[in-house]
Amino acid sequence: MAYETINLEISDGVALITLNRPDALNALNSQLLGELATAVEDADASEKVRCIVITGSDKAFAAGADIKEMADKSFVDMYRNNFFWAETDRFLKTRKPIIAAVAGYALGGGCELAMMCDFIIAADSAKFGQPEINLGVIAGIGGTQRLTRFVGKSKSMEMHLTGRFMDAQEAERSGLVSRVVPAKKLKDEAMSAAHKIAEKSLLATMAVKDTVNRAYETTMAEGINYERRMFQSLFATEDQTEGMESYIEKREPQFRDK
Ligand code: CO8
């Protein structure tokens, strides 16, 4: 499928999706979110893809939902047409790991999109924020919930209430991003992490994503029980046998996703 607001490249098991609305700092409009949801759905279904990387430009991962598209909407437009949420729900169903590689602005819906990914690698130029308060609204695709769980109530509340941005170092200290790298190396670092993931058993990587995400959805006791069942189930796979045998035989594993 030909996309207009994103670029898609697939190589060595990794789908690299680059948000591409440079004139609007990659602001998320319906077309972009629809294309992004389709691209991740296709990647999820493709035998050629084992990990997905989403990135933007040097200046902006995404500067938020498209204010110009939203400005004239009514409550009925937002509620009845489920504006944006249908696309984000499709995005969130992806079972393969997704890395957000963030340089520059990740604001509003851009910050929320990065947080919907499985982990964030940030360039030292990254700036995260939820400035919707300046527009007379609040975050609408998960920001109040995800940011609060990732960085804690005090910092999240301050960011949502004042609209202040967090730089990459603060984001790393606060647990929002997994690590910070020099801006020039961002794409290489994210792709190298993705290629590392792509070498593993896809069954195990999907199980990791599913199980870690439980930590945000359930109690500790239920999450641990879920992990135990998932761990036990992986002993029904050939990849478990291969992984353990290859370790004992001191060779690289040849996972076959079976
Ligand atoms: N929407 C639309 N256009 C945008 C956006 C945006 N979010 N951000 C930037 N642009 C456009 C600008 O309008 C400008 O276009 P033009 O040249 O035609 O005027 C172009 O991108 C370049 O931007 P600037 O000239 O402003 O660039 P600066 O370097 O001066 O400033 C900033 C960069 C600080 C990022 C600035 O552009 C800015 O403040 N942008 C808006 C940030 C913002 O408020 N984001 C939150 C948006 S609301 C939101 O995300 C809600 C999420 C929940 C949605 C749920 C929906 C269902």
* Mean of pLDDT values over 239-257: 97
| Averaged pLDDT score across all residues of the chain | 97
pLDDT value of residue 83: 85
Q: Which helix (H) or strand (E) holds 121?
A: strand 119-123
Taking the CA of residue 107 as reference, the ligand 1 atom at the shortest distance is 45
Q: What are the respective helix, strand and coil percentages of the chain, to the nearest 5? A: 50, 15, 30
Q: Is the ipTM of this complex over 0.85?
A: yes
CA distances to 51, 82, 199, 234 from 187, rounded to whole Å, are 14, 33, 18, 32
CA of 130 to the centre of ligand 1 (A): 12
pLDDT value of residue 1: 74
pLDDT value of residue 4: 97
* Mean of pLDDT values over 178-192: 98
pLDDT value of residue 106: 98
Task: Give the closest residue (by CA) to ligand 1 atom 28.
Answer: 25
- Catalytic (active-site) positions: 65, 109, 112, 132
The mean-pLDDT minimum among 111-115, 148-152, 215-219, 234-238 falls in 215-219
Task: Give the closest residue (by CA) to ligand 1 atom 6.
Answer: 66
pTM for the whole structure: 0.97
pLDDT value of residue 145: 97
